[in-house]
């Protein structure tokens, strides 16, 4: 009786015989290899195969390791980039915090100076103001304040730095702003005096370009020295007496000249002036 296929068809005897033949061959080879391995007769073949395939295996391993290293490096670069971006963000935050702390420290220092000067000069009524604008490089040197007529400011009021050095006088005001003519402006003149143990040298301190001051008519009979202080004299009533203007920086004195001439270095650093005090109770008499 013929054998049937699972689907009901009759199996081909030729195909069945060929399959059984191959199965027998494979079984015989397997048994032969097991016997040869047990009797150590495959060592030469194994050694030959090892000599052939070991370099190939080493080459493949090297190439594979290289690919793994490449992708590992790509991953590390990506990680480092992300870490770098995170650190940049932290540095930016720290810089911002440092700037805020520095600004707060500067404001506190300004307030300490203002309080100290107010306590040292009870004769003055002082109104603090912030500098919100300035022009220090032209013919019209000025600073602008964040207070104006709404705060009681008037033209001609004297303005000093937080530590009491002369800045200038108010030129004009709006409701919430005041423009200050600073003493280095070429149109500024301040009656001044140089105190000395041998006497007093009275003159006018004139503003000059590039932040300079000059005294042109110091009497020859008064011995003025470099480094001496220059104060407001109070003459004319435009400025209160006794405010520090600056210090004698250079001196031009000659016997053939009628007067000595001195360059005065202002005490106030206008480029770094964050705030001022306005003296509101010393207007010039009209």
Buried b (16+ CB within 10 A) or exposed e, 69-99: eeeeeeeeeeeeeeeeeeeeeeeeeeeeeee
> Is 261 among the domain residues?
yes
Confirm if 278 and 136 have CB atoms less than 8 A apart: no
Buried b (16+ CB within 10 A) or exposed e, 126-153: bbbbebeeeeeeeeebbbbbebbeebeb
CATH of the domain at 208: 2.40.10.350
Convert the pLDDT of each residue in 51-69 to its tens digit.
665 665 666 566 566 666 6
DSSP-derived letter for residue 226 is T
Rounded distance, CA 27 to CA 14, Å?
Answer: 20
> Is 79 among the domain residues?
no
Cα–Cα nearest to 150, from 131, 172, 173, 170: 173
Cα–Cα nearest to 136, from 70, 207, 53: 207
Residue 190 sits in which domain range? 126-286
Residue 156: is its pLDDT beyond 70?
A: yes
Rounded distance, CA 117 to CA 105, Å?
Answer: 18
Confirm if 249 and 130 have CB atoms less than 8 A apart: no
> Is 219 among the domain residues?
yes
Backbone angles phi, psi at 47, to 5 degrees: -65, -40
> Is 223 among the domain residues?
yes
> Is 62 among the domain residues?
no
Convert the pLDDT of each residue in 63-99 to its tens digit.
566 666 667 777 788 888 888 888 888 888 888 888 7
> Is 6 among the domain residues?
no
- Could you give the number of structural domains in the chain? 1
Cα–Cα distances in angstroms (integers) from residue 105 to residues 102, 142, 220, 235, in the given order: 5, 26, 47, 38
> Is 112 among the domain residues?
no
Top-confidence residue, 10 or 93: 93
> Is 29 among the domain residues?
no
């Amino acid at each position: 009786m013929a054998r049937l296929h699972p689907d009901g068809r009759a199996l081909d005897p030729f195909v069945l015989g060929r399959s059984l033949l191959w199965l027998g061959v494979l079984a015989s080879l397997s048994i032969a290899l097991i016997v040869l391995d047990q009797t150590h007769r495959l060592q030469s073949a194994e050694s030959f195969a090892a000599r052939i395939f070991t370099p190939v295996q080493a080459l493949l391993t090297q190439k594979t390791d290289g690919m793994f290293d490449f992708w590992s490096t790509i991953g590390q670069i990506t990680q480092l980039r992300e870490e770098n971006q995170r650190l940049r963000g932290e540095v930016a935050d720290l810089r911002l915090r440092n700037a805020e702390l520095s600004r707060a420290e500067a404001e506190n220092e300004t307030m300490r100076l203002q309080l100290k000067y107010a306590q040292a000069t009870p004769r003055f009524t002082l109104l603090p103001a912030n500098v919100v604008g300035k022009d220090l490089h032209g013919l019209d040197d000025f600073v602008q304040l964040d207070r104006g007529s709404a705060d009681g400011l008037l033209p001609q009021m004297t303005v000093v730095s937080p530590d009491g050095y002369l800045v200038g006088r108010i030129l004009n005001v709006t409701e919430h702003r005041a423009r200050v003519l600073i003493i280095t402006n070429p149109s500024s003149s301040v009656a001044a005096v140089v105190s000395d143990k041998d006497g007093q040298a009275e003159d006018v301190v004139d503003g000059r370009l590039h932040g300079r001051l000059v005294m042109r008519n110091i009497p020859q009979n008064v011995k003025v020295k470099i480094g001496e202080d220059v104060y407001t004299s109070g003459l004319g009533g435009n400025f209160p007496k006794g405010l520090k203007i600056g210090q004698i920086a250079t001196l031009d004195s000659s016997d053939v000249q009628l007067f000595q001439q001195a360059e005065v270095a202002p005490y106030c650093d206008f480029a770094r002036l964050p705030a001022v005090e306005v003296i509101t109770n010393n207007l010039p008499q009209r």
